[in-house]
Structure 1
Amino acid sequence: MKRTFRLAVLECDTPFPSVNASRGSYGDIFRELLTKGLKDEALRSKGNDVSLDLSKWDVVSAQSYPNPEDADGFLLTGSICAEHTVFADDPWILKLVDYVKAVYTTTQKPIVGICFGHQIIGRALGAKVGVSDGGWEICVDRINLNETGQKLLGVSSLALHQMHRDAVLEVPQGLVSLGSSSRCEIQGLYQPGRVISFQAHPEFDDYIMEEIMEARYAQKIFSKEMYEEGITRARAAHDGILVSAKIWEFLL
């Protein structure tokens, strides 16, 4: 009999309209990624007996949250809205930070964070977050894993989509970093059984990234030079499915 894993996805944003129309919400995008991860050879036979029961929670507009007792684990999505900064004190951000603190301190359930979600976890656990000295990191980039990251992920480095300027600036007490890139010192956080997070976007593909790049260039958030350099890496091979399988290893 298959084991059902109840994953509560805390949606920290809504995709661009074109992406939302074709791929659905971020919860839907993660469902697709995690379904592929269950079948990936990196998970070996561990995924054969697991069924994903994914629930989606709009923590921005509706500010709705699951009862922690009704989930086996939690995933915080990214946010590509230029107005969402992890260090802001917007009511919905403060509520999200408090929720993550409560789940972390009152349960033993695993928490996954992606990009903005990674940063929220850092803030909730007492780390400094802010604008990265490295500036914008965009499209597929190389992450050099440290000893912990290599042991956990089984490779020396990862290629993953990036779309951020904010970052976790210090490692929270009790956690360790997974590695770094040329523009961001802390590319992931880890505590066995409790937290795994990635600054990058394993759920993004070339279509999603190109839509974001086009929009941010049109909005003049990205210069022509930044756009032209970054778009050349939007279709590069990446390790999103491997990361999905490793997230499952952590959750299970």
Structure 2
Amino acid sequence: MNLKIHAPIRIAILECDTPLPKTKERFQGYGGVFELLLRSSAKALNRPELDPEKGLEISKWQVELDPDNYPDPETIDAILITGSKHDSFADTPWINKLVEYTEKILSQTQVRVIGVCFGHQIVGRALKAGVGRNPDGWEAAVNNIDLSAKGKELFGVEKLRLHQMHRDCVFHYPEGVEELGSSPVCKVQGMYSPRRLMTVQGHPEFNQDIMKEIVNTRHATGIFDDEAYNNHVTKVNLPHDGLIVGQAFLKFLLEQ
């Protein structure tokens, strides 16, 4: 089944967490962070069929705090599932509801699915892949991703540099998806199925200010000890390829 591309493309951002104070003050929610990424990516993509402002109709749904309020699949072309501090494998009502909704979208509709970090793991869980705590620990700030042949094709680069902030992972690729890349800490860095789904474990939407606030907060609260903090904070300001991933997301949504 091919999705009939609407003008504009109707993207529902499923917000799965609330940002820390400085990020919240600037963007209100993670939906605002992703809206900036998507519109900036549309501008960089410079495709006549996708105007950066009028070509995207973006709605935001706070499914963590309002788990009974989800978009009607008949009214959207795509969902984007954001990151979260919560465990994607947790047996909690709102996360179970999110997994069920994602399963329904993937199996019963033509709506396309984008997943980022926690969202990437939710897609993996919805496709019956194992999801859980990564025995290799945290991956944080800007890290290199080794791309597969498909990853190089979709992103248009040989390697990808992305902000990361996770200690959970998808353990194996579900049936029916293509591998996009891996890193020494995390084997499953991205999944793809044409006109169906595209996910990344990293955070293309993050910038150095957002990442610095998270790293500093996790150090202050004891999640990162001094050694981990010193390791991660040196990578906060490194160049990253978030805009490249954002453009790839949009090209995926335009696939015929």
Q: TM above 0.5, one fold?
A: yes
Paired position in structure 1 for 2:150: 148
Return structure 1 stretches of 4+ with deviation > 2 angstroms.
43-50
Paired position in structure 2 for 1:134: 136
Q: Please list every run of 5 or more consecutive structure 2 residues that lacks an aligned counterpart in the other structure.
A: 1-5
1:47 and 2:50 aligned: yes
Opposite residue 231 of structure 1, the aligned amino acid is V
Identify if the C-alpha distance between structure 1 residues 55 and 48 changes in structure 2 by more than 3 Å, giving closer, same or farther. Answer: closer
Distance in 2, matches of 1:17 and 1:62, equals 20
Residue-by-residue CA offset, 1:218-252 (whole Å, 9 max, x unaligned): 11000101101111110111000111111000011
Distance in 2, matches of 1:104 and 1:115, equals 18
Paired position in structure 2 for 1:231: 233
1:19 and 2:23 aligned: yes
Paired position in structure 2 for 1:38: 42
Paired position in structure 2 for 1:124: 126
Distance in 2, matches of 1:86 and 1:101, equals 14
Residue 44 of structure 1 deviates from its aligned partner by 4.5
| Contact 2:178 2:192 (8 Å CA) reproduced | yes
Describe the SS at the equivalent of 2:31.
Answer: helix
Opposite residue 70 of structure 2, the aligned amino acid is Y
1:65 and 2:89 aligned: no
Paired position in structure 2 for 1:102: 104
Describe the SS at the equivalent of 2:70.
Answer: coil
Paired position in structure 1 for 2:182: 180
Residue 57 of structure 1 deviates from its aligned partner by 0.6
Opposite residue 81 of structure 2, the aligned amino acid is L
Describe the SS at the equivalent of 2:8.
Answer: strand
Describe the SS at the equivalent of 2:136.
Answer: coil
Residue-by-residue CA offset, 1:84-110 (whole Å, 9 max, x unaligned): 111111000000000000011111221
Paired position in structure 1 for 2:13: 9
Opposite residue 191 of structure 2, the aligned amino acid is L
Describe the SS at the equivalent of 1:111.
Answer: strand
Describe the SS at the equivalent of 2:66.
Answer: coil
Paired position in structure 1 for 2:60: 56
**Fraction of identical pairs, as percent:** 45
Opposite residue 234 of structure 2, the aligned amino acid is T
TM-score calculated relative to the size of structure 2: 0.93
Paired position in structure 1 for 2:79: 74
Residue 19 of structure 1 deviates from its aligned partner by 1.1
Opposite residue 72 of structure 1, the aligned amino acid is D
Residue-by-residue CA offset, 1:125-165 (whole Å, 9 max, x unaligned): 11000111221000000001011111111111100000000
Distance in 1, matches of 2:106 and 2:26, equals 34
Distance in 2, matches of 1:69 and 1:17, equals 35
Residue 48 of structure 1 deviates from its aligned partner by 3.9
| Contact 2:131 2:169 (8 Å CA) reproduced | yes
Describe the SS at the equivalent of 1:47.
Answer: coil
Describe the SS at the equivalent of 2:145.
Answer: strand
TM-score calculated relative to the size of structure 1: 0.95
Q: CA RMSD in A?
A: 1.3
Residue-by-residue CA offset, 1:184-222 (whole Å, 9 max, x unaligned): 001000000100000000000000000000100011000
Residue 46 of structure 1 deviates from its aligned partner by 4.7
Opposite residue 7 of structure 2, the aligned amino acid is R
Describe the SS at the equivalent of 1:141.
Answer: strand
Distance in 1, matches of 2:173 and 2:18, equals 28
Paired position in structure 2 for 1:111: 113
Describe the SS at the equivalent of 1:66.
Answer: coil
Residue-by-residue CA offset, 1:64-100 (whole Å, 9 max, x unaligned): 2011111111100001x2xx11111100000000000
Distance in 1, matches of 2:138 and 2:90, equals 18
Q: Please list every run of 5 or more consecutive structure 1 residues that lacks an aligned counterpart in the other structure.
A: none
Residue 111 of structure 1 deviates from its aligned partner by 0.3
